[in-house]
Amino acid sequence: MGRTVVPGSKSHTIRALLLATLAEGKSTIHNPLPSADCLSTAAAVPLMGSRVDLNLTTEGVPGTDWEVYGAGKNLHLPTDVINVGNSGSLLYFLSPVAATFEGYSIFTGDESIRKRPVDHVADVLCQMGAIASTSQPGSRFCPLVIKGPVSAKNTVRTEGSVSSQYISGLMMAALRMKETLNIELSKPTETPYLTMTQKWLEKIGAKVHISEDFKKISVTPPAEIKAFDCTIPSDWEAVAFPLIAAAISDSDIFIDNIDGSGTQGDDAIVGILESIGADIEWNRDENVLHVRGGKKSKDGIGRLTTENLPGGELHVNLSGFPDAICALSAIACFTEGHIYIEDIGVCRRKETDRISVLKKELEKLGAKVEEGSDFMIIHGHSPVLADGKPNPDFKLHGAEVESYFDHRVAMSLACMGLGMRDGERIFVKNAECCSVSFPHFFDVMNEIGAGFEAN
């Protein structure tokens, strides 16, 4: 039996850093996520006038309380090119805010970011009066060059299907405008994250209205943004990995500091896993998940199967929480039945084309996977039959697999190794990329008995 706490939410941490930068006075962020993306944000916002104190230890490790001395009325155009590193959130959140200033701002990032589309960002900023484009003619990718300022005079019309992040960026940029910003979306996706942004903006005094279908959004800025103290909840995107690791192995673990606020759409993974037989208890009063897998589960077998679902299949629409594709694809390979992961076109535009990458790497491990433009079908098998005996149809085996420097791909493939039969090992190349969202992932997992080894 083991007990662990996953890091704070990346999505909440980055929003907190940006909004604290816009505020007047000192804000304190408790339990921030010290991941690469969040540290990129902490390095970027001072270019617009704030000061961030990470309270580093003598060893240079970020502390558990960060202080942001907001720029407030002295916020200004970035004084240098903003390199977002590997953070799509930072790119899509901060570029609309920078566009509210007179003058030029430039955004770039690492090799992965320079393959992420930004033409949709340029389009909405141009609708608002900016001159925005990629630096290379005919390219859809960073560097992104913006000449502001933008205004809220025009209603912004965009699909919203590429990502919710640039919509959240527009909502934050509205805090610097004199009028109400109106946004119309024809195909909104990742809607729980828009709700997360709404709650953050309301926390600092903005008036935000989002229609029930998420197709109409309006943001009215407050007269002044005041500093705040906040505690960052645990990251459900990180919770997913010890959760699936326990469910596919003979494990009995507790995960503490679980966020029950409903602001992270990825919490839906609990219900999904329970629907295929995972033994999970969520104590909402104590914010604890108790997960038992395999021989440690209540029935002593821990078999995952879709046989009790309608049509004997599991259909999961991930439009609201597409980052769960990696964890769900991994556990689907250990589940008896057919698992349909749907409405995931946006996953082709993440750190990697996650649909294509997952299919390729899962097939190296013996999985049977089908791929479509916006869906995956995984034909899985449980390692055991209903009576607990070995399942002859379970064909997963060890192999060397690629992470493609995608943190969620790396963690999902590593977790699969914990469910393999004795003697089968998975080697994940460039697995250190996990630090983007889950610092010290392998150390944390080993503390609850995972047995990961560096190679």
CA dihedral 255, 256, 260, 262 (to 10 degrees): -60
- Is 387 part of the annotated catalytic residue set? no
Q: Which of 37, 252, 323, 406 is catalytic?
A: 323
- Whether residue 23 contacts residue 172, with contact meaning beta carbons closer than 8 Å, is answered with no
Cis bond upstream, residue 149 (ω within 30): yes
In whole angstroms, what is the distance from residue 88 CA to residue 100 CA?
20
What is the β-pairing status of strands 144-148 and 103-108? Answer: antiparallel
DSSP for 336-399, written as a single string: BEEEEEES-GGGGGSSS-HHHHHHHHHHHTT-EEEE-SSEEEEEE--SB-TTSSB-TT-----E
Residue with tokens 């720029």: 71
Cis bond upstream, residue 143 (ω within 30): yes
Can you give the C-alpha Rg of the chain in angstroms?
A: 22
Pull the structure tokens for residue 100: 């509210």
Residue with tokens 């909502």: 171
Residue with tokens 């990742």: 190
Any idea which residues carry the catalytic annotation?
Answer: 323
